Amino acid sequence: MFEEHALNASLHDRAGFCCGVPELDDYLHRYALQHTRKGVTTVHVLVNSKAPHVILGYYSLSAAQVDVTQLNERDQKKLPRYPVPCFRMGRLACHADQRGRGLGKILIGCAVERCLQARKQVAAFALIVDAKGIEAKRFYLHYGFTACADSPMTLYLPLG
């Protein structure tokens, strides 16, 4: 059974994680805990309950904002002309051995659910992501994300 947990240095084997994108591996190995402690991000990992130390995938979330002009016309019309409060999923990755088994889908679902819970306390219009490449962008488009007007590798998903 899959379980999602906050990254924990004494429980999770960060060094064993490999998604094949050096920047995303390096982040988990070296920076994720530091950034968590500094309060600039939260990092959650997906594990199998039978091997709870093995990280199968992870994502990070932070508060963010986007200029309203970056949204499509339909979304702009709903909103005041202020910077739009959002959450940012700065990183998302699955272990290279686990691709195509639905873990990316589970991780996106967990991240969206966490954002929906958080926005009951602090408002946010959308979840923003930064695609690290064209394949990652296709993945996000598949889930209904829309590219921002001036930065097409940044995409957003309204949470309403």
Ligand X SMILES: CC(C)(COP(=O)(O)OP(=O)(O)OC[C@H]1O[C@@H](n2cnc3c(N)ncnc32)[C@H](O)[C@@H]1OP(=O)(O)O)[C@@H](O)C(=O)NCCC(=O)NCCS
Span interacting with ligand X, options 19-27, 46-54, 71-79, 110-118, rule CB under 6 A: 19-27
35 three-state secondary structure:
helix
**Per CB under 6 A, 21 contacts ligand X:** yes
- Rule CB under 6 A: say whether 18 interacts with ligand X: no
Minimum CB separation of residue 115 from ligand X in Å reads 16
Closest approach of ligand X to the CB of residue 148, in Å: 15
Lookup result for tokens 């088994």 = 101
- Contacting ligand X within 103-132 (CB under 6 A): 103-105, 131-132
Site for ligand X in 25-84 (CB under 6 A): none
Walk across the sheet containing 154-158 and list its strands: 2-6, 42-48, 57-66, 84-94, 126-130, 154-158, 146-147
What is d(CA 51, CA 61) in angstroms, rounded to the nearest whole number? 24
140 assigned to active site: yes
Q: Does 101 participate in binding ligand X (rule CB under 6 A)?
A: yes
| 97: contact with ligand X by CB under 6 A | no
- Interface size with ligand X, residues (CB under 6 A): 20
CA 73 to chain centre: 25
45 closest CA partner among 32, 29, 57: 57
Q: Of 105 and 121, which CB lies nearer to ligand X in the complex structure?
A: 105
Residues that bind ligand X (CB under 6 A): 19, 21, 24, 92-94, 99-105, 131-132, 135-136, 138-139, 142
